[in-house]
Structure 1
């Protein structure tokens, strides 16, 4: 089988930076304004204005985020508030630029973000407290520090491709090295486990002790659990893992929830479409329930884009569950774009034929906002 049954933790030093990259230094998470009450706005995303998709890795915006225009596909940018109903945006630059706009649907085009500056953004919605975040836009690439990432999951993340013998986290590190970026990877992978079982084994609790702090923590839950038992998934995330994030994440760090794909056998759902709908709904609720800045890695969405044209066997092996070599590459280039905060379109083909690899990178880049 193309996956390995194992439990292991591997911390790998990043490769020295060979080319200039964006300095993305994220300070403490978004803070509410001075008005009493709970903010009606729970987060703000940087959006690719051409596609209206959030630019993942830079979203949600947190205090200290640096938006490097040289690593974005274009300068048509917008902002979207996670809020019910209309939202009013007030953006002020340290050099004097700014605007105030009200958006009925929570989205505004923001041409001002084409101008390098230090910005303060305040968003108001309803009667809640204002939501404020401070970030910087730069037009000059700078050397990026190593990115520290923890991956926790099972064989959906841990499946090894036959071309290079790497699972998805190792392949992300491989791609980062090829691009001259430094990525330090720690893996806690146990085939067949839920996140709760991984915790109960004791090893992930040690990694989340705060002795090492991470820019990103990637969590991959058991393939069917979020769809079929969302209360258990929510309990594990909020009661078991979430209390560790304040000490285990660096200031401004983010949690990445790995939104998995619908299996070939959709049971207990009547169809794969119904299974996918449950995955979408329940992962959105899981993300909203987590107070730590977080984002959904849209792996399952990308799978459906490709499966709609080529069928499940194009990405899923004969057991109907695990990723094939192409799917491992798709997972890796998606995670690369999120974790390194740049488009994966330029990445090498590695072990795949050029047309296949190029198509997978294009699907991934579109899904994550690049």
Structure 2
């Protein structure tokens, strides 16, 4: 039995089967490349679902983490530490907001945003206690906690986890008329992904986000943008909402905020929203820990240069031009996305998304399927044009087989 087979067999025997990973066992990684236990190299075209926007082993991020590891890693929020205020200040400035509530994972941040919206609704808007409603979109993916799957339309994520948390209304993504009908006097927030990643990198119709922003402002409802996957450079802008000139009331951030080094997430909003919390009402032992703040501060500094956003925009234009040439050739039905992020719908007769992903793996390229016939492409923003083209060549070769 090979080292790969042995490691996979052990994982299958001793870990819960909540994932179905490709049969590769990674041992090391650098930039846009990963190396398995057998020494074979693979081009990473997934980037940890955007957690690795700045690549594997980014020297600036590793150095920031190493320096902090030598000083202090955790205090809990029972005490102040010397990186916390700086982190909150700089992240708030990056977002153009006033306050930050740091957490760890994206799902934690979404849960925090839900609690924020409800508390704001009761204490600021004046919704009767227990009647708050949050409007969400079909095919959303915001995480997998019990509350979050309560408003999921994905049966794999939702089924057999009830009873479900009430207080959510689901409308079709991109349908502004349905959104208008759903927003009532008891609505406290609209929660949306500016681009739906897990659903297949679905980009809403032009003007949709602007329409939601206008509607929520008119009706005194919070607009919460889940930028966990779409944010921090992935689409060619710091935030995907910027493509429509939209500034939400609340940003929910995660994944790339931790640079692929540590889990870091945050809810960012103005004082009139996040100011509803008082001591003891919400918290996290690891949220805003010194190590997380040190890494996230370096991420923020890197984003301020604009280098990564520009790179995603320029390489993304090239990526979509090349992928667009595949549509209509008998193997690809459609391509969607923005920046260095694409969903590619494979003609079902040519194979499932899983089968195409496995064939690409055999050629040294790593992507991931979703919803049957779709593969997602989201390489680290540090990928070279030459490596990107090589990866696209492998996709063409697989589709021509």
TM-score relative to the length of structure 2: 0.31
Higher relative contact order (Cα pairs below 8 Å, separated by 6+ residues)? 2
The structure whose residues are more often strand, as a share, is 1
